[in-house]
Structure 1
Amino acid sequence: PAGVINVIYGSGRETVSALMASGKIDIFAFIGTNKAASDLKKLHPRPHRLRAALGLDAKNPGIVLPQVDLDNAVSEAVTGALSFNGQRCTALKILFVHEDVVDSFIQKFNAKLATLKPGMPWEDGVALTPLPEAGKVDYLNALVADAAQHGARVMNANGGVSRGTFFYPAVLYPVNPQMRVYHEEQFGPVVPIVPYRDLETVINYVLDSDFGQQLSLFGTDPAEIGRLVDAFANQVGRININAQCQRGPDAFPFNGRKNSAEGTLSVHDALRVFSIRTLVATKFQDNNKALLSEILRNRDSNFLTTDYIF
């Protein structure tokens, strides 16, 4: 029916801010940064009436264990970090690779990366395209420069080379906590690789992170995978085993913890989030049973009906 879906054109800051300030918004579904979501929610004059389903920032780690199918880990990591130029909230944003396999991992990663075709989005077979955001190339260059200042190197040929709004992926190694890219969500084709020896290093990173959307575990040791699943089960919304982080299918809930989400998105879960259940109750007595039977029989209520069963 007319008015069910309305499209309002203009700057998001201007249009959404005005809508929230009006107090007429009951449900807020939003994908963006946690800061933007918080600022918008604060504009609502009746915050207790506002329900929210938010997909927010993420710094999803890929964790490569010493016992691993390295070819699969590399394939999933390249796609996870660089599909859509890494501009997915579900992208792999930082890779922790055990020192026993890190050299081989980087060699294979760079070989796979070199096969990705750059070009325009409408060209066949293109995997790397220009970035759509003004100032994004400058931001990525600043991350690379900061990492280099603190001891990282660009490990792949042409890494970080840019032209206009195109930025060729930069693989950075070894990345450490002094670097901005260790903490910031780059949301672009910069791939930070952190070598580690002790799993506590990785566990502490996830525990201390402000974000908790997803992570990926790559390994073949059941005991080690099982231990890490238990360590991370209350830290992220989804743990992927030998697979990249990703959105979907819609049968799976899309959620997160900490600053990465509020509520749960997916077809089923979103309908529950967007719904407030109403209950009509009475005492189990003959007169009440007769009353309800008459209401149903005569269709005296549109709400009280046996026509639909959910």
Structure 2
Amino acid sequence: MSDSNSYATNPVLSDNETMAIGHRPTFISIGPGRCATSWLHQSLEAHAEIAMASVKETEYFNTFYDRSAAWYESHFKSHAPAVGEISSNYYLDPDVAKRIRDYDPSIRIIINLRNPFTLLQSFYNFGVRRGMELNSLAQSMDVPIGSLMGSGFASRKKRNSLTPSDTVTLLDSVCLHDRLKPFLEVFPNDQIHFFIFEELQYDWQAALSNAYKFLGVAADFEPEGASQIVNSSVVPKSKLVARLATNTASLLRSVGMYRLLSTLHRSNLVKKILFNSNKEGSELSNLRSTLDPTVVKRLDAQIERLKAMHRPLNKLWKED
């Protein structure tokens, strides 16, 4: 879940309402958020051979699975060699992997990866950015990830319709090996691509080129502005600013003004006026020292399993 263009807070078409005939996606990025999903979405959308969904996160396979496949496919209005979406909270729901496999066993899966410690910090910081009243990070392990990331959590809670993706705790949300296991069990290795957050710091061109290759499109394309960070870590200048930004984003989503919302997210002027920059997770060793030893032990175990699963992580995930 993220503050991106999601249907979670929007009025949606019912199956009885007229829908444009759409296309079947060929790939899905399942998250997590705060792992360069916004940057990836922008880079995929810019490619002439890739057609992205009309909203960044359809949330069909978790929040709106009671709707029809036709409703889902109506979000994919353009045909291209690669057609897909990014829904950053799919990885949180253990039922989503089988649902996607049942929909199309040949579909390609992109999984974003980030060191669980810095991902933990980033999720927490995002809650602060949204103006939430939170205890320290160490005391927030049981906070529901849905409440931190927004995307309709409050409205679903009022309707008593929270999903499994909403109620996973902050700590459980960053236990990535556990969360990704259902996908690794039902999809073969050649249909899974790991997009690693830390690789962008060293060679973003190679990371993006490899993603393009995985999708079967021209790999030498470089989108304009790709060297700029999208949705970077910032902290609000005040709680009032945080609430104003959150409420404005919700209002723009509710009336379907996704392009304006995306433009505001990317605006350096808006960030300069409303936020201060925040170098989250810059000292991994310091972050570890602030957490309960049982949390550190659990996340270390997750990291070792992830490294065994994907060997390039051994070079990219090193303790400061």
**TM tier, smaller:** under 0.3
Structure with the higher helix share, 1 or 2: 2
Q: Greater Rg, structure 1 or structure 2?
A: 1
| TM-score normalised to structure 2 length | 0.26
Structure with the higher strand share, 1 or 2: 1
| TM-score normalised to structure 1 length | 0.26
Higher relative contact order (CA 8 A, sep 6+): 2
